[in-house]
Amino acid sequence: MKLENRSRQISDDVRARQRNTIWPDTLRNETTLLGFLWNGCPTATGIQRAGIAVISLIFFLVPSLGLLYVAALKAETRSPLVPVLVSAPVLAIGCKLLLSAFRH
């Protein structure tokens, strides 16, 4: 009898863990993650804050600063307006995420 209960408990646990891969649960998980990234969290651990900082650096700040650097190098031959217009919003998003990592 105990083995059957334990088996059922494990089965229920597996189903509960796999629920977040089905449509409504993925949407809820995604909005939770994006809200955490954008707004920050007062109870976030140091590792979570470092993760937000790394994400903002790798995906937003470094590429946008690199694009601005390339635009500055090519300023004599071409108009740097397009790289600046592309990198400015990305740079702003990266700064917002970096600030939200250390807000609270």
Q: Give me 45's structure tokens.
A: 């651990």
Number of folded domains that form the chain: 1
For residue 72, what are the domain limits? Answer: 2-101
The pLDDT of residue 2 = 67
Per-residue pLDDT for 30 more than 60? yes
Per-residue pLDDT for 18 more than 60? yes
The pLDDT of residue 23 = 73
CA distance readout (Å), 85 to 57, 79, 88, 89, 91: 19, 11, 6, 7, 10
The answer to whether the pTM exceeds 0.85 is no
* pLDDT tens per residue, range 42-70: 888 889 889 889 989 999 999 999 988 88
Question: Mean pLDDT over all residues of the chain?
Answer: 81
